[in-house]
Structure formats: C-alpha cells, structure tokens
Amino acid sequence: MADRIPLALVGIGKIARDQHIPSIAGGNDFVVAAGVSRHGKVEGAENFTDFDAFLAARPDIKVVSLCTPPEVRFDMAKAAIAAGRHVLMEKPPATTLGEAEALSKIAAKAGVTLFATWHSRFALGVEPAKQWLSDKIIQSISIVWKEDVRRWHPGQAWIWEPGGFGVFDPGINALSILTEIVPGHILVQKSTLEFPENKKQPIAASIAMRTVEGAPITAEFDWRQEGPQTWDITVQTNEGELRLSKGGSELYIGGKEQASGPDREYAGIYERFAKLIRSRQSDTDYQPLRIVADSFLCGERKVVAHFED
C-alpha cells in the first residue's frame, strides 16, 4: 500500500461504488485517500463535501478521478488541472466537444495527465477484435445496444436533463468500441432520436453511419429493453463475420468463441492511468463524443409516449 499513488474520488454515486472503488482496491497502483461528494462517503478515507475545499486542504493528493455527472465536470477538471493535479474523467468526458477539447489544451499547457476514459474499450474482446480486423476489408457493421434504464440508472434524474445524454450515456460505450476497432473516422449520415414527451433527452436512437471507405454502419440504441440486455456489435468482412457480445466481453469470429472472461474494464482503466502518469502523457480521444454530437446535428426528433423511470 505504501507504494500506491494517493487518489481523490469525486462523485460517490453508483458508478463509483460499483466499479471505481473495488477496481482501485483490487489493483496495485492507487489508493483512495479522499472522497468528495455532497452525499456519499468513502470508508477509510478523508471525506469532503466541497471540491474547492478538498483542493485547498489536500495539496499532497496529486491525482483526481472525476465520477460526477458530465455537466459539472469541466469546471472541476479545470480547477484540478490549475492546482497541478492529474485528472481521470469518467465517460462521457464532458457535456460538449468544445469543453473536452479545451480541457486537453489546458492540461497540455499545465504539464499534467488528462485521461478521458472509455471503459468499454477495456472489455476482454475489444483488443483482439481490433487486431483481427486490422488487415480485413470491412463490408458492414451493425450495432444493437439495448438495456433497461430502470435497472442501470435508478433514481438518476440528471441523465434526462440537458447535458445528461439520455440513451447516449450507454450508447457512447458502443461508439467507443466502434472507434477503437475500426481505423479512421466514422461519419454520421442521419439519425432518428426518440424523446419521451416528459423528458429532455432521448430514450432511443437509430443512427446511420459509414466508414471513410464507405462501409455502412447502423446503430440501434434503446433504453426500454426488458428481460435480457443486448450489447452486440457485428462486423461483416471479406474474411467472415466478427461479433462482440455482452458489451465486448465475448468475441466470436465465424461463429466460434475466441475470447471471454470476467469483467476487468475499470481495472484496465486504472492500470492505463498509472502508466500515463508515470510517462507524463495524456489520452484524450473524443471521437465517440463527436459522433454523439453529430447524431444530434443530423437527427430527426420524434416525440414518443410519457416514460416513468
């Protein structure tokens, strides 16, 4: 424990409790030395309710992990960088592409590490899928990403507000895998976004995209899925079919399983963060966020029935 890097965890909500805290505890690189949250606390750490108060009181903690909703993340990240802290940002990294790109420039000027995380890229099947596709001709890609918002985001009203992303909060996970395994830019052509009459963010989205080379890509996102959840990406190539299932944790090529195993996505994030800090580098790929922004720009809006979550 003495060799671990002290870290402050900011925003002690469901994702922090379910993923960040156990992943940090199970790794060898960090220890949670402070928690910052209006309501939650981290057992065994010094806890603060105000972020600025934490920055002033604990200059010895040089690493900050932001697990807050995205709409407050820019100001927190900017303040942390100004105080000389290395910053990890949960996905999505910011509410807008402009905020995200500004943070990259601010961090570079300050000489600190900024890590915009995409946890699904660390799923077990993603890297071998990327390697297999590297010398193939992609013919088409289909994404089906459907889950039950009531199960995964209970009581989280912020996801329906401006800056909350709606169904793109999970959908951006699929886009993060897509942009990792497919080289070059992904271009949005058109989209249809379904907004419940009582919500400010979409509950479902259908997106038509293509690779730069012209291969068609379709994505179906829906937050109304009951029963088994669906997180699949299927790629047709000149040498057969590749399929990533269960959010990237299972890889099939030609229908045969190639990789599967336990979830280590957040463990992978923190291992990557430690390497970035030690090498004084940053990792800020915002292409998934750009695709979300482009989907709104190219989107047809449909109003659907009242939804109670």
Determine contact, residues 63/6, Cβ cutoff 8 Å: yes
My answer on whether omega of the bond before 92 falls inside 30° of 0, hence cis, is yes
Residue of 91, 109, 190, 199 marked active site: 91
Write out the two tokens for 221: 């996102």
Handedness of CA 244, 245, 250, 252 (dihedral sign): negative
- The amino acid sitting at 282 is S
Give CA–CA dist 247/123, Å, rounded.
Answer: 7
Measure Cα distances from 223 to 128, 135, 152, 165, 248 in Å: 28, 35, 10, 12, 19
- The closest alpha carbon to 72, from 124, 27, 10, 122, belongs to 10
**Helices (DSSP H) in the chain: which residue ranges?**
14-15, 21-26, 51-57, 73-82, 97-110, 126-133, 149-152, 168-181, 265-279, 287-297
Determine contact, residues 136/130, Cβ cutoff 8 Å: no
Handedness of CA 205, 208, 211, 215 (dihedral sign): positive
Determine contact, residues 232/245, Cβ cutoff 8 Å: yes
295 Cβ neighbours under 8 A, 6+ residues apart = 168, 188, 191, 193, 205, 207
Write out the two tokens for 124: 């077990």
Half-sphere exposure of 84 (CA within 13 A, CB side): 6
Active site residue 146: no
Q: Which residues are catalytic?
A: 91
